[in-house]
Amino acid sequence: MSGSLLLSRALGVQLLSVQTGSMQPLLAPYDLVVVTKIYPADLQVGQLISYHSLRDSSMIITHRVIAVDIAKNLVTTKGDALAIVDPPFGAQQIVGQVRYHAKKLGYISDNLHKPFGLIICIYLPALMIIGAELVRLRRYYSGYHYALYS
């Protein structure tokens, strides 16, 4: 799984989990969105994009483009379920365009970022593989093969 995440990053693809209901009914909390890079010149009104929040650059917001000012390099977005328009932001804040979304698959992504999810999905399977290999090696070296070559 980590190999596919590295490959997706190399190809300019990000998997993001929706955290709020600002884009309902299209996107609900814990939906997974697949975001790919987009050039500012390719932006169009109506597209869903993800961008870094002006308040907190570590937070990524996914909203619909409602205006593009190419001359000023500004983009304005709005959540479908919100009455208020987002403040305009520079195109350099854009992470990419939403290409696909999958209902509720964001739970997996969210849980992999928590200690319990890491233990269950990463550490436990790794320990099981290591344990199986140790058992196999013990059997190999304590059995017939070891006696022949020692």
Cα separation of the two ends of the chain: 40
pTM above 0.85, yes or no: no
* Gap between the Cα atoms of 107 and 28, Å rounded: 12
Q: What is the pLDDT of residues 91-107, one digit of tens each?
A: 999 999 999 999 988 77
Q: Percentage of residues in the chain with pLDDT exceeding 90?
A: 65
Which residue type, as a one-letter code, is found at position 142?
Answer: S
CA 98 to chain centre: 11
Q: What is the pLDDT of residues 6-23, one digit of tens each?
A: 555 667 788 899 999 999
Helix and strand tally (H, E) in the chain?
Answer: 5, 7
**Domain 2-105 classified CATH 2.10.109.10?**
yes
Q: What is the pLDDT of residues 40-90, one digit of tens each?
A: 899 999 999 999 999 999 999 999 999 999 899 999 999 999 999 999 999
* Gap between the Cα atoms of 91 and 70, Å rounded: 9
